[in-house]
Structure 1
Amino acid sequence: MPADFIYLDHQATTPLAPEAREAMLPWLSGPESIGFANPHSMHKAGRAAAAAVEVAREQVAALLPKGGRVIFTSGATEALNQAIRSVPRGAIAYSAIEHSAVVNAALATGAAVQELPVSAQGLVDPDVAIAEGTGLVAVMQVNNEIGTIQPVAALAQRAHDLGALFLCDAVQGAGKIAPPEDADLIAITAHKLYGPKGIGALWVRDGVKIAALIEGGGQEGGLRSGTLSPALCAGFGAAAKLARERMEADFQHLSGLAALARSILARWTVNGSETARWPGNLSLRLDGLNFPRLLMDCRQIAFSAGSACGSGTGAPSRVLTAIGLDAAQARNAIRLGFGRYTTRDEVEIACRALDAAAQAQGV
C-alpha cells in the first residue's frame, strides 16, 4: 500500500493476511509441481489437493458452532441464496437492515416476506412480532454499514419457538466475535477476515436439509457442484485459523482505534448503538456534510458512505433510513472501517484530515 494512502474500509474488504498468502502459494504453482491438480481427481496429485481442501474445511469449521458441516461456496452471497432458496415452506422474515443478498434472495423466492423493524439504535427487538407460518428468520450478526451487533441468540430462539429455521449472515462477525451458536444456517466469506476473494462458506446444522443451488458434478456432497480451488480453500483456512488465534488481540486493538477516532471526531454523531457494536466499524454523520466533496478532498483515505455493495446508487442508505434518519441525514454519513493492520498513527492522521476537510465545508 502506498505510504501516503490510509485504508479505512475494512467492512468492504480486508487485505490478504501474509499467512493466508503463504498457504495459497503451493496450490498456485505451475508444471514444476503438482499443486495445480484438481482436488476431485483420484490420482496422487488430486488426493493431495483434496487433503488441503479438507484441512481448510476443518480450519473454517473451527470458527463456527459444533454440530454442523461447512459447504464451500463462491462467497457469502451464494451461501445466503442457497440457504434462502432451500426453505421448504412458509414466509421469510428478515430485519430491515439485512444485506441486499438476503433481501433480494428472499423476494426472488416468491414467498411472503416480512421486514422486521429495528430501533434507532439499529437493533432488532428480541420480542418483535413474527408472523405465524414463518419458515425462515434471517438476521445478521453484525451490520456491515453501522456495526451494530444483533441479539441473535434470542432471535434464534424466537424462530425456533415458531417452528422456523434461523439464518445468520455472519460475514462481519466471523473470526471476530463468538459465532451465533443457536443458528441453523450461517453464511461467511473469506475476504472479510483477511482471506482471499472468491470463496465463502455456508454452515449447515446437522439435521437441517438444504437444496443444491448449482447442479453439475455433485461436488460438496451434491450441494454445490463445481471444481473447488485448493488455493482459495487453503487461504480461507489459514485466515480462519489466524482469526481464531488472534480474536481477543484483534478486538482489543480495534477497540483502542475506535476510542482514538471517537475522541478526535467527538463532534460527529454515531449512527446506531454506541455500545452494542463491533469496534472495527465507526459510522458517523455530521449535519450539512457534502460527502462527495469530502471524498475528493481526502483522496488519500479509503472510507465510504455506507455499504460498498450499495454505493453509487444515489439513493439514501436503507440501513440509515431504517434507524430513523431522514434522507439528508443519511447522506451526511461516513463509515470508517479499522482492521488488524491499521495503526494508531493512521487513524489519527485520517480522522484529523477528515474533520479538517469537513470544517473547510463550513460544517
Structure 2
Amino acid sequence: MADIVIRDVTKTYPGGRSPATDNVSLTVADGEFLVLVGPSGCGKTTLLRMVAGLDTPDAGSISIGGRDVTWLSARDRHVSMVFQSYAIFPHLRVRQNIGFGLRMRKAPPEQIEQRVRWAAEILELSDLLDRYPAQLSGGQRQRVAVARAIVVDAGVLLMDEPLSNLDALLRLQFRAELKKIVRQIGTTTLYVTHDQAEAMSLGDRIAVMRAGRIAQIGSPLQVYDRPRERFVGGFLGTPPMNFFSADLRCSASGAHLRVGDQLLTAPDQLGAFDQRPVVVGVRAENIDVAKAPADGRIRARVEVVEPTGASMLLTVRLGEYELKVQAPPNFDVAPGQDVWLRCAPESLRCFDPETALALVA
C-alpha cells in the first residue's frame, strides 16, 4: 500500500486560458478512499491523470509511497486505473480480461489463475468467467473493469467516474458494492466524480474542486454541514443549500438577521460582525415549516409542492428569494398558501457577500 502526496501541482493545456490545475496540494493517506468532486472542467480528471502518469505537470511534484513519480511513465508507477468507459476487450472472455494486466507483467500462469479467481469471487463474477463482454449487463462489465484493476495488487487504485455509464438504480446498487470492495482490499483509492451524492456516500474524505483549485477538503458530513465558501454549499446537497441576503444586527438580546421586515435569530458567534450585510445559507432539511404563525417564525408563500415519497419538497418565496424547504410527507399545503418558517440558529451559515467565504470557520 502507499500514500499519495501532491505538492503545488499546476497544469495548463496548450491554448488554455487558465490552468486546468492551479497550485494544487493534496495528500491521500495509506489505505484512504478520497473522492475528488466538482463540476465539469474543474480539473479533477486532469489531476487524476497526472497521478496515473497519463499527463505531466508543468510545475510541482507527485509522490507515491514516498517515491517521486512526477516524471515516471504510467507503467512504472505501480497504479491501477478504472476509466469512465469499461475499456474491456470484447474479443476476450471475462477470465482473460481480468488477468490481462498480470499477463502483461509476465506473471506465472498459476498466479494469474489464483488472482483472477480471487478477484472474481470478491466481485461476484465467478459464474461468468467464461462469458464474453457482449453476454454481460452494464453492471457486470463494470465489475469486470474493477476486477482487472484490483487483481494486479497495485499500491494505488485510481477511478475516473466509473459509474457514470450505469443507469440510476444500477449506479446506486454498485456504489454500495464498490465501497465494500475497496474497504475489503484496503487499497489507497483516489476517485473522481461530478456526482455529489456519489462523493458523499463513498469517500472517507472528499475534496471539492473549483476552477483548478481545491475549495475544501474534509469528511463528507463536515464539508456538507460547514462549507467554507458559498460555492461548496451550493454544489453539495440535493437540493443545494438555500441562500438569501440579510442584515446582521447584534444587541444585548442576541444576534439577529433582518430579512426585509422580518427577523431570524442568528448564531451568537456572529457578534463580531455587527452592522453588516451577509449572505445566509441554510439547508432545506434544517428549515422547520408550519401552517400557523408563531413567535420566532417568518412568513413565506408556497409556490411549488413536490411530493417525493419520503418527504414533501416545497419551493417558497421569502421576499425576493426562492427557498427549498423539506416538509413531512403528510404536510398538506397548496401553492399560494402562506407558511411560517423557523431556522435553528446553529443551522445557519453566514458568508461574506464580497468574498463568498464563511464568516465563521
What is the TM-score with the length of structure 1 in the denominator? 0.26
Higher share in helix: 1
Indicate the structure (1 or 2) with the bigger Cα radius of gyration: 2
Higher share in strand: 2
The answer to which structure, 1 or 2, has the higher relative contact order (CA under 8 A, 6+ apart) is 1
